[in-house]
Amino acid sequence: MAVGERTKRRQRPAGVGAVRLARIAGIDIVVAPSWFLSVVLIVALATPVVLQLIPRITSLGAAVVSVALAVLLALSVLAHELGHCLVARVFGIGVREVRLYLVGGVSELERSPASATEEALIAGAGPAVSALLAVGCWLLMGVTEVRTIGWLILIELAVANAIVAVFNILPALPLDGGRVTRALIWKVSRRRRAGTIVGVAGGFLVAAALIVWAGLFLRSGTRPGLLQAAIVLVMAAFVAAGAWAERPSTAARGWPSGMPLSAVARRVVPMAVTEPLAAALALPADIVVVVTASDGRAVGVVDRSRVAAPAVPGPDTASWAAVTPLEPGMIVSPREDPRDVIERVAEMQLPFIALLGEDGTVRGVVTRADIDRASAGPHRRRPD
């Protein structure tokens, strides 16, 4: 199951037809309308199997068992996604929500992983949970009476979780295996973008393989075959759309080769958090004010747009009143590949990045607009 990445904390509507079911450890659990379609599909596919394998069960009873199976499968997907969430929180990454839909689920994180290790462990946690569920259900099945409802549900859950675990470790974005693959390439090459390119290519290959598989189902000409082909085609569409969304950003592709981010960085002036905001606003507009804590550590950047045009801050208004805090991912080492940084800016929707000098202090600030201008065509180095 894919791990989506978002950065904004504001609450958004669940969506048309979606249901916000619960809140687990501060994480919203949302069910998309397409999940209800998955229940219908599971009931259609599982009811004949229940009738065949469970002696003396009625059609209504078989349908009820199939609905229960659909709910338990959804809980398995939820456990998979919560595995991602747990590890993300270990690394200090907030989780906005978990959304269940037709072909699985997605965990929406508040920021992208800041390192290859973070990405690999967060992505790998989901398939690991699914694998543990598959093994646990298989072991329980061994102590359950054969051809009973419990025995059948355990079989279905074991097989389904095994399939989820195996499918998700494929080296294809947006699947978890694609994220692990990207992390490994990122770790070895020190270029996240290289891992993204490989993962996207893997995503399109997996989508193509799923389309071929759907074609084999269609050749059967049977009603179950048509239904299975439709499900596989939906999976192919999901993988292809996810791979397309993961492509390197236009700005990264257009960034001039060999040009450092410092070439378009805005000049900065450090200012203590207790200094008056009026002093920051009195500086020229092309200078960025970096607000520092008492220990000299940069904690944010003064955002002039947060000060209403007619308003004149009073002498006691501190610079902190108009600060955008520096968050993980905004701090950029001079050794990072510019294209990797630009990818992170696009994925995390960062308003700006702060460039560190060798001494660990902020030496410049680059906004998204600066990146877009430099990527679009000829540029000029800012004067020192």
> What does the block give as tokens for 216?
């084999």
Q: How far is it, in rounded angstroms, from Cα 159 to Cα 304? A: 56
**179 has which bridge partners?**
none
In sequence order, the 6+-apart residues with CB closer than 8 A to the CB of 136 are none
Residues 161-198 pLDDT 10s: 999 999 999 999 999 999 999 999 999 998 888 899 99
Provide the whole-model pTM.
Answer: 0.75
* pLDDT tens-place string over residues 311-328: 556 666 777 778 888 876
Task: Name the burial class of residue 138, with classes exposed (0-12), middle (13-18) and buried (19+) by CB atoms within 10 angstroms of its CB.
Answer: middle
Whole-angstrom CA distances from 293 to 144, 297, 301, 303, 323 are 62, 5, 12, 17, 12
Place of tokens 């990207």: 182
Q: For residue 337, what pLDDT is reported?
A: 81
Contacts of 22 (CB under 8 A, 6+ apart): 28, 29
CA 86 to each of CA 94, 107, 159, 213: distance values in angstroms, whole numbers, following the listed order? 10, 11, 24, 34
Average pLDDT over residues 211-217: 93
pLDDT at 8: 38
Looking at 3.40.50.360, 1.20.1250.20, 3.10.580.10, 1.20.1050.10, the CATH number of the domain 254-376 comes to: 3.10.580.10
The angle at the Cα of 50, spanning 45 to 55, to the nearest 5 degrees, equals 160
Q: For 312, how many CA atoms within 13 A lie in the half-sphere containing its CB?
A: 1
Query: Does residue 382 surpass a pLDDT of 80?
Result: no
